[in-house]
C-alpha cells in the first residue's frame, strides 16, 4: 500500500470505526448494544415512592452512543425499545410487551434514543477523546433522558413540577452522576489504549497529501 493510499483512508471517528467490516459489523454492533442495555436494565432497584426504578441502563446508553456514533447508537436504542414492546424481556425486571409502553417510566426509554444519538453526534466530533470533552457529552445525554422521561412521567401521572422532580429526578441524580463519570472515563481510556491520536472529522474525511 502506498503512502498516498494510506493518507486517503478514512480516519476513524468513533471507537466502532476501528473494527473491520461494514454492514455485518454494524448490525452486530447495533444488536450487541441493544442487548447490553437490556442486560444492564436487569440491575434494577424499585423504590416505594416512585414508579421509576433505579437501573444500569443509562450507563449502557451513554457508552453505546459515544462508542458507536449517532446512527448506529440511535438504531440500537430503537431496536431496544421496539423489540421490548414486541416481547423481548429486556426492560427492567424482565418486563416486555405492549403494556410496557404505557407505564410511567417508558418515557426514559424513549429518551435513550435521543440521548444515544446526541452522544454519538458529539463523539463524532471528538468529544469522547478526552475527559474534558466526554464529561459534557455524557451530561448532555442524561439531560435529554430526563427531559423526555420527566415529561412522560408528568403527563402519565398528571403530576405537577415539584412532584415530577421528586419522583423522577432527585432519587437518581447521584447514581447517574456516577454512571456519567464512569462512561466519561472509559471512552478516553479506550482511545488511549488504541494508540490513536485525538483527531476529529467525518468518516469520509481525508487528510491532505
- Per-residue model confidence as pLDDT tens digits over 164-193: 999 999 999 999 999 999 999 999 999 998
Q: Which of 81, 96, 79 is nearest to 29 (CA)?
A: 79
Residue 153 belongs to a domain: yes
pLDDT at 9 over 90: no
Establish if 76 belongs to a structural domain.
Answer: yes
The dihedral built from the CA positions of residue 168, 169, 172 and 177, taken in this order, carries a sign that is: positive
Residue 12 placed within a domain: no
| Unique residue bearing C-alpha cell 493518507 | 7
44-45 vs 54-55, strand pairing mode? antiparallel
Residue 101 located in a structural domain:
yes
pLDDT band (50, 70, 90) for residue 20: confident
In a domain, 64, yes or no: yes
Question: What does the angle CA 20 – CA 124 – CA 55 come to, to the nearest 5 degrees?
Answer: 90
Q: Determine the structural domain holding residue 46 and report its residue range.
A: 22-194
Identify whether 204 is part of a domain: no
pLDDT above 90: residue 206? no
Compute the distance between CA of residue 108 and CA of residue 84 in angstroms, rounded to an integer. Answer: 14
SS3 (DSSP) at 67 = helix
In a domain, 98, yes or no: yes
pTM value > 0.75: yes
Q: Region 64-78: what's the mean pLDDT?
A: 95
Pick from 40, 24, 33, 15: nearest CA to 175: 40
Q: What is the CATH number of the domain that holds 88?
A: 1.10.1760.20
**pLDDT-based confidence at residue 1 (cuts at 50, 70, 90):** very low
Q: How many Å apart are CA 157 and CA 103, to the nearest integer?
A: 10
The beta-strand segments (E) located in 10-85 are: 44-45, 54-55
Grid coordinates belonging to 1? 500500500
Residue 160 lies in a domain: yes
Q: Sorting pLDDT into bands at 50, 70 and 90, what band is 10? A: low
Sign of the torsion formed by the C-alpha atoms of 199, 202, 203 and 205: negative
Separation between Cα atoms, residue 118 and residue 114, nearest integer Å: 6
Cell numbers 494510506 correspond to what residue? 6
Cell 466502532 found at: 16
Q: How many domains does one find in the chain?
A: 1
The CA distances from residue 27 to 71, 75, 167, in Å, are 12, 9, 36
By the 8 A CB rule, do 152 and 137 touch?
Answer: no
pLDDT band at residue 39 using 50, 70 and 90 as cut-offs: very high
Amino acid at each position: 500500500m502506498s503512502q498516498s493510499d494510506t493518507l486517503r483512508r478514512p480516519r476513524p471517528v468513533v471507537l466502532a470505526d476501528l473494527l473491520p467490516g461494514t454492514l455485518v459489523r454494524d448490525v452486530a454492533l447495533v444488536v450487541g448494544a441493544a442487548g447490553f442495555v437490556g442486560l444492564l436494565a436487569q440491575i434494577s432497584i424499585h423504590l416505594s415512592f416512585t414508579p421509576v426504578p433505579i437501573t444500569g441502563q443509562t450507563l449502557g446508553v451513554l457508552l453505546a452512543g459515544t462508542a458507536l456514533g449517532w446512527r448506529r447508537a440511535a438504531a440500537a436504542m430503537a431496536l431496544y425499545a421496539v423489540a421490548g414492546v414486541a416481547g423481548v424481556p429486556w426492560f427492567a425486571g424482565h418486563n416486555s410487551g405492549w403494556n410496557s409502553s404505557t407505564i410511567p417510566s417508558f418515557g426514559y426509554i424513549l429518551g435513550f434514543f435521543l440521548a444515544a444519538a446526541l452522544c454519538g453526534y458529539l463523539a463524532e466530533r471528538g468529544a469522547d477523546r478526552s475527559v474534558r470533552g466526554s464529561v459534557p457529552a455524557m451530561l448532555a445525554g442524561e439531560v435529554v433522558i430526563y427531559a423526555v422521561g420527566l415529561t412522560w412521567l408528568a403527563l402519565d401521572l398528571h403530576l405537577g413540577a415539584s412532584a415530577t422532580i421528586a419522583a423522577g429526578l432527585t432519587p437518581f441524580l447521584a447514581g447517574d452522576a456516577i454512571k456519567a463519570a464512569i462512561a466519561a472515563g472509559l471512552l478516553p481510556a479506550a482511545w488511549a489504549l488504541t494508540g490513536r491520536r485525538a483527531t476529529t472529522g467525518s468518516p469520509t474525511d481525508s487528510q491532505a497529501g
